[in-house]
Amino acid sequence: MASTTMVILRPPTVKSLFSLHKATTTTLQFHHIPYFSSSSTTRSPSRSISLSATSKPLMEALIFDCDGVILESEDLHRQAYNLAFAHFNVCCPPFSQPLNWDTDFYDVIQNQVGGGKPKMRWYFKENGWPSSTVFATPPENDTDREKLIDILQDWKTEKYKDIIKSGSVEPRPGVLRLMDEAKASGKKLAVCSAATKSSVVLCLENLIGMERFQSLDCFLAGDDVKEKKPDPSIYITASKKLGISEKACLVVEDSVIGLQAATKAGMACVITYTSSTEKQDFTDAIAKFPDLSDVRLKDLEELLENVVATT
């Protein structure tokens, strides 16, 4: 088997949300440590943990984000937003052409503002509320502004669903196997996403299958909490629903905004980054991977054990 590389990072601490501009300029230096498959007996002596056969496993729940973790969804969402902007002729002053979020911009905003409605709300506040076929002139009161956001989000969500239902989207490597390993070992399994519930349900039904989806011990979407990531509400709520201490939960995220939500909730987090998030500051993660293809449940358990042992 070809070797892969894992980056071991220090145990998580709570950090404030990075500014939008800082996220695009931060560069990091990591120390790369050779990573061995779960069948390997070679481990760093300083990292090994001895547990008795009767010890309760430290990891009791494995929690996945959806977008970026279960599927590479960033560009699919971007396409759907741009289709919505074009359909409703959304034009921000002083431009006369429909709004179009390019790849570089969306890489930034989708990792700093959680949820679709908050993304648009933030953008319009920063750049001016648009004219559209919904309102010929830019809406001036909160009621009309929220109506515009709701209409755009609903239409965008339907387009995104069409893309997912097309059958052209596959789950990221290793995700389904890790889910199956977690359930087989008796651990709780959850999915926590900032996206709209209907959108996440469709993704899970099509990408992980109905049987796995129905076997989840907890499923939360952006609709289920008042505050979106990086606020920790969704993970704190998941911990309560699972009946498990935050310290016994391990979260899998792909971006700094999800990492912050997890660590603020008191949970350890591993990162499986994408091309749009790989340069973000993942210092507070306990490890990061390019994907999960060679990561086993045993590896994640040992990572969490190491965090406890070194703190």
User: Is the CA virtual torsion 35, 41, 47, 51 positive or negative?
Assistant: positive
Give the catalytic positions in this structure.
65, 67
- Which two structure tokens, joined as six digits, stand for 231? 């606020």
The string of DSSP letters for 57-117 reads PS--EEEE-SBTTTB--HHHHHHHHHHHHHHTT-B-TT--SPP---HHHHHHHHHHS-SHH
Residue 125 main-chain phi, psi, to 5 deg:
-65, -35
- d(CA 227, CA 215) in angstroms, rounded, equals 26
Q: Tokens 């293809």 — which residue? A: 293
Cis-peptide, bond into residue 94, ω within 30° of zero: yes
User: Is the CA virtual torsion 254, 258, 259, 262 positive or negative?
Assistant: negative
